[in-house]
Amino acid sequence: MRNLLLLVLISVCLAVPALSFNRDSNWIQHNRAGKHEIVNFHVALNQRNLDVLESTLLDVSNPESPNYGKYWDMESVLALVAPEQSVVDQVAQFLRNSGCQSIEVHSDFIKASAPVSAVEKMFSVDMFNYKHAHKAGQTLVRSKQTYTLPKEIREHVHIVTGLSELPHLKNGPKAHKLNTKASPSSDPGIVVPATIQGLYGIPTGYNNHKNTSLCLAEFSDDRSYNPKDLNTFASKTGTPLINVVKNVGPFQPTNPDLESTLDVQYGGAIAETAQVWFWTVDGWMFEFSSALAEQYPAPYIVSMSWGWPEPLQCESGIGNCQNGETSEQYVDRVNTEFQKIGLRGITLLAASGDQGAPGDNNPSCNNKNKPISTIFPGASPWVTSVGATMLSAPSSSASGDNSDIPVCGIHHCATSTSELVCSYPAALITTGGGFSDYSPRPSWQSSVVETYLNSGVALPASNFFNSSNRGFPDVSALGHNYYVVAGDQMQVVDGTSCSSPVFGAIVALLNSYRFNNNKSPLGFINPVLYAAAASNNNAFTDITTGDNKCTEACCAKTGYLATKGWDPVTGLGTPNFKGLLAYVQTLQ
Ligand SMILES: *[C@@H]1O[C@H](CO)[C@@H](O)[C@H](O)[C@H]1NC(C)=O
Ligand SMILES: *[C@@H]1O[C@H](CO)[C@@H](O)[C@H](O)[C@H]1NC(C)=O
């Protein structure tokens, strides 16, 4: 799980629409940016027909609807929501007249670049060079204060990104220190693809349709896996070579990072011969989702092991901040982009966070006023939110023979078949979960979430969470002790970063079944997942042991408990492939 700080600043003295951007205090302001330096930014235009977008998406994703699976093509989706051409032209013309050097006009946003001098005049900002305090060589040109929308285009513009945000660069997933000593008896052993396939009944040598695809999306400074590591991983774990067909965005294969490496190795290994896309994003969720919404052809599944709390506390005295208000605007815009993507039949998945219910607003467990926090995109209703479990230490009921897997001949591989909530201190992370700050509870989950809230289970105090909102995660999968090969080194890692690509790969295999039967992909899959759980198909294993009161470093008093049925710790539970497939086979 990687974090990106979304901190929101608005100007209180100017009557402009609230503006939103990300700030991380690890960025140190240096000298003024050179007047001729080029700044790249995105202008997100106001959209239309958003009520139709939402109701249509819910209709084509509802397994009971005659329109189930009848997705729209990209052109129709963009035609529905894009502003009138005259509006797009007017904003583009304004940008051109204001000194932008390049302008790329899309249907509902404009990518532009302009010298610092033009940007400063247009948006009433002072641009500075920023350097990261802990990451040598990381520099950005950003505004000192929040931007002001020029009055000529104010009524047409939703938000502008790329001017002011200073993204959070944090290390993750969490790697275990490796020791050569025998594992303690409490250690369940390392997880390899065969562990996951065995536990969830995922077939190997699956008859994948050639259109089956899975995309791993990366943000911030994570730009690479090393192709050589993929070969080593395949040979050590006895899995087929991973079929990366497309790299989008900046890619630096010489400097592999753990997040990208984990995502590609486990997404690729579990999705078997699927076409794997690797997409690195300059920017955050808006830049990614607006680009994906109009990408053609596009991958059918996208896993994002990234997130940061929905509303963020303000930091470091840069401007004034009205907590939550403008963050909500950013979240709203990205949720609309996610809906556009869903209506095209693309499945989005996101990790539910590694800091338990306390979340990234309370990693030290000592925030008395706001002891629990949420995550975005992991709390978005329009993604499948994936939490983490771990295996209990092997007991007499242990099963599984891994002796044919090379790495299991050297290291102790997991054999337990019983799962519980992935939590510190047994693990290096605690799975995130709770209730969104902004998004009301969708109907597809209302019955099971209300059952949880009315079950009598101990809940956090009601003023600490919004119980009428979207509960997350939806599902979970193993997230502890994954074996990966990064930079030719063995690493053992923990994180909901493990769980999201694995669940995404399972959806890829289910898509393959549908393609083989000439059906459409599963698309926005949440209504189907909850319907599958309610059917008698044994689609999930309910996880009932544990809670998410801890973080990566400590345990707080407040959090949620896993119980029978859906809970905001492990969602519906972990997948049972045969049961999920049996339900998917009933869909039109
Ligand atoms: C809970 O969230 C809803 C939006 O779903 C919002 O209307 C309501 O004001 C929130 N309640 C509180 C107490 O914040
Ligand atoms: C597979 O992809 C091709 C090319 O995009 C498309 O024409 C075909 O309809 C797809 N098949 C299925 C079953 O989705």
pLDDT grade for 82, boundaries at 50, 70 and 90 = very high
263 catalytic? Reply is yes
410 Cβ neighbours under 8 A, 6+ residues apart: none
Task: Tell me the CA–centroid distance for residue 63 and ligand 1, in Å.
Answer: 29
Per the CATH hierarchy, to which homologous superfamily does domain 2-19+171-584 belong?
Answer: Peptidase S8/S53 domain (3.40.50.200)
Q: Is the peptide bond before 377 cis (omega within 30 degrees of 0)?
A: yes
What pLDDT digit, counting tens, does each position of 131-148 carry? 988 877 788 899 988 888
Among 35-39, 114-118, 147-151, the least confident range: 147-151
Q: Rounding to the nearest 10 degrees, give the CA dihedral for residues 358, 437, 7, 570.
A: 40
Residue recorded with tokens 């943000």? 219
CA distances to 299, 364, 386 from 275, rounded to whole Å, are 8, 40, 22
Evaluate: CB of 179 within 6 angstroms of ligand 2. Answer: no
Q: How many residues does the chain have?
A: 588
**What is the separation of C-alpha 88 from the centre of its chain, rounded to a whole number of angstroms?**
30
pLDDT tens, 222-234? Answer: 889 999 999 999 9
Residue nearest to atom 11 of ligand 1 (CA): 466
Chain segment 56-79, per-residue pLDDT in tens: 999 999 999 999 999 999 999 999
- With left for phi above 0 and alpha for psi between -120 and 50, is residue 49 left, alpha or beta? left
Q: Which ligand is nearest to the CA of 514?
A: 2
Sequence-ordered alpha helix ranges (H) in 271-400: 285-293, 325-343
Q: What is the mean pLDDT of the chain?
A: 89
Domain regions of the chain by residue span: 2-19+171-584, 32-44+51-161
Tens digits of residue pLDDT in 378-417:
999 999 999 999 999 876 455 556 778 999 999 999 999 9
- 184 contact partners, CB below 8 Å, separation of at least 6: none
Mean pLDDT computed over 467-483: 97
How much is the pLDDT for 402?
77
Q: 24, 222, 259, 272: which is the annotated catalytic residue?
A: 259
Please indicate whether residue 328 is annotated as part of the active site: no
Mean pLDDT of 428-453: 97
Find out whether the beta carbon of 466 lies less than 6 Å from any atom of ligand 1: yes
Cβ of 440 closer than 6 Å to ligand 1, yes or no, is yes
* Six token digits for residue 323: 């907590």
List, in sequence order, every residue forming a beta bridge with 390; answer none if it has no partner: 420
The number of the ligand nearest the C-alpha atom of 435 reads 1
Query: What is the distance between the alpha carbons of residues 266 and 499, in angstroms, rounded to a whole number?
Result: 9
Give mean pLDDT, residues 78-103.
97
Mean pLDDT of 540-554: 97
Q: Report whether pLDDT(249) > 80.
A: yes
Torsion (CA) 274, 578, 68, 346 in degrees, nearest 10: -30
Distance from the CA of 522 to the center of ligand 2, in angstroms? 14
Residue 4, pLDDT > 70, answer: no
pLDDT at residue 187, rounded to an integer: 80
Q: Has residue 309 got a pLDDT over 50? A: yes
Q: pLDDT exceeding 90 applies to what percent of the chain?
A: 76
Tell me what pLDDT residue 284 has: 84
Supply the pLDDT for residue 181: 43
Annotated active-site residue in 263, 272, 337, 360: 263
β-strands 475-478, 469-472: how paired? Answer: unpaired
CA 169 to chain centre: 15
Secondary structure (3-state) at 50: helix
Model's pTM, two decimal places? 0.92
Q: What pLDDT does 23 receive?
A: 61
User: For residue 458, what are its two tokens?
Assistant: 């101990």
User: Confidence band (pLDDT; 50, 70, 90) for 321?
Assistant: very low
